[in-house]
């Protein structure tokens, strides 16, 4: 489904920003962060958006009031969020658990949920109004670790955006915290999953040693830059059982047992690469986060909300990606994913120490993030499941990467959707390549953009 060319605009009226502190006294201490937490790529503020419709049972309840009260109670358990990050020698980071508090904004907007369209997906209009960047709040160090804005809508629904310092947690950790906030808002005394800090589990080895080749951190010189910032259009692509079945038909027998995400990763990487028309000799990457919690023996404890993700990269020349069958791209994806073991993650941690926490390479890289297991859509504050739950990504992210989100089509088919933003000619080439893979018979193509 293509978003309308007429941008949705609305006015947001905000009340005074409040500083919410834990409802009870909490430990005053310094908590060190892990070397996975402090890598360069995570020095960002990550806004997570949850959109809810009106519920007749909640008509007389102000969502901002109940969420604010629940937040103060939850911060007793998640008290590091009420502190501030401090930077020490060698860019080592730790949390000063000072109980200073987090920022909270109540707002109203003259817009209804229905105006966001039948398919509520990023990018979202007026994002800067739905999460006000309070002056002095957007730094990584010495700034509040949470900024929350609850915006009530004309229809009785509301939008909550929780901007989280990514140094503190990964997507699973964010989902765990927001789910806990929903449970506390609905009256729970404690959340169903208690938070676990234990960042010492991800300390570097002694001595640190890089035991794998980490192409995701290659230092690549910038050569010809592909322009992906003009005449942008947005479309969303649904991959349900029918689409996955058709795509599997392009694979040799030994690859057919791959997961839907692995298959779609290869498909989208190949089609998008063809669409952006790189130089045939360019080295192209696809990078995808892999949850590392279950790669350890024993597993990282349930409730751990720090960053515990590896980001392996699959590499191919553009020429090979274009000319070889789909199975070539898929085999590269599977090989990169299979490398993620406990030793691979520990090698990543050691690399951070030995090489000064390098950033993930973005040159000729495509990022695809699987959020189907994070279950942001299921988070309930008392108004039922979210119309949309997950990252509030902006157009700028869509130029280098996309989200793979759980989605149920109008036909009731459960699958995943990838919202994508590309220049119009590039998008047209991408759709053509994807449709060529999804041809059902000689005369009929399945257009996945029709959700």
Cα distances (angstroms) measured from residue 441 to each of 84, 289, 444, 445: 59, 35, 6, 7
Kind of pairing between the strands at 401-408 and 45-52? unpaired
DSSP 80: G
Using CA atoms, how far apart are residues 251 and 254, in angstroms rounded to an integer? 8
Active site residue 380: yes
166 assigned to active site: yes
With beta carbons less than 8 A apart as the criterion, state whether 367 and 402 touch.
yes
Helix, strand or coil, per DSSP, at residue 329: helix
Distance CA 117, CA 102 (A): 32
Q: Name the CA dihedral angle for 14, 53, 44, 67, rounded to a multiple of 10 degrees.
A: 60
- Alpha helices per DSSP H over 169-325: 171-185, 241-248, 260-276, 318-323
Distances (CA, A) of 103 to 17, 91, 138: 7, 26, 11
Q: What is the rounded distance in angstroms from the CA atom of residue 258 to the CA atom of residue 439?
A: 21
Per the residue annotation, which of 55, 380, 395, 435 is the catalytic one?
380
Which of 166, 170, 214, 350 is labelled catalytic? 166
Q: Any idea which residues carry the catalytic annotation?
A: 166, 380
């Amino acid at each position: 489904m293509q978003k309308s060319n007429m941008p949705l605009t609305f006015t947001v009226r905000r009340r005074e920003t409040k500083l919410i502190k834990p409802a009870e006294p909490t430990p005053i201490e310094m908590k060190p962060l892990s070397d996975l937490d402090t890598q360069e790529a995570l020095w960002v503020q990550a806004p997570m958006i949850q959109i809810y419709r009106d519920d007749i049972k909640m008509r007389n309840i102000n969502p901002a009031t109940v969420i604010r009260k629940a937040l103060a109670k939850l911060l007793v358990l998640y008290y590091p969020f009420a502190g501030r990050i401090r930077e020490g020698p060698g860019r080592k980071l730790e949390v000063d658990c000072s109980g200073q508090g987090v920022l909270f904004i109540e707002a109203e907007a003259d817009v209804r949920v229905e105006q966001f369209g039948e398919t509520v997906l990023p990018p979202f209009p007026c994002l800067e109004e739905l999460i006000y960047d309070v002056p002095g709040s957007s730094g990584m160090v010495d700034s509040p670790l949470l900024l929350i804005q609850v915006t009530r809508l004309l229809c009785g629904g509301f939008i909550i955006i929780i901007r989280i310092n990514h140094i503190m947690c990964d997507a699973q950790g964010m989902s765990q915290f927001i789910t806990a906030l929903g449970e506390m808002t609905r009256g729970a005394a404690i959340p169903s999953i208690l938070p676990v800090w234990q960042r010492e589990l991800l300390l570097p080895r002694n001595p640190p040693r890089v035991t794998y080749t980490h192409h995701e951190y290659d230092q690549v010189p910038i050569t010809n830059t592909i322009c992906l910032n003009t005449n942008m259009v947005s479309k969303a692509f649904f991959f349900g059982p029918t689409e996955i079945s058709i795509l599997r038909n392009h694979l040799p027998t030994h690859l057919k047992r791959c997961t839907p995400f692995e298959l779609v990763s290869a498909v989208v990487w190949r089609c998008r690469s063809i669409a952006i028309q790189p130089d045939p000799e360019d080295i192209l990457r696809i990078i995808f986060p892999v949850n590392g919690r279950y790669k350890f023996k024993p597993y990282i404890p349930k409730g751990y909300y720090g960053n515990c993700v590896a980001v392996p990269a699959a590499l191919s020349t553009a020429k090979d990606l274009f000319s070889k069958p789909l199975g070539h791209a898929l085999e590269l994806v599977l090989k990169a994913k299979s490398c993620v073991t406990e030793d691979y993650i520990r090698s990543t941690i050691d690399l951070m120490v030995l090489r000064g926490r390098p950033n993930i390479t973005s040159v000729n890289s495509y990022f695809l993030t699987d959020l189907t297991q994070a279950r942001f859509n299921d988070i309930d504050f008392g108004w039922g499941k979210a119309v949309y739950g997950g990252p509030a990504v902006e157009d700028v992210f869509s130029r280098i990467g996309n989200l793979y989100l759980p989605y149920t089509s109008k036909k009731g088919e459960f699958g995943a959707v990838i919202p994508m933003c590309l220049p119009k000619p590039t998008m047209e080439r991408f759709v053509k390549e994807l449709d060529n893979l999804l041809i059902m018979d000689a005369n009929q193509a399945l257009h996945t953009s029709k959700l």
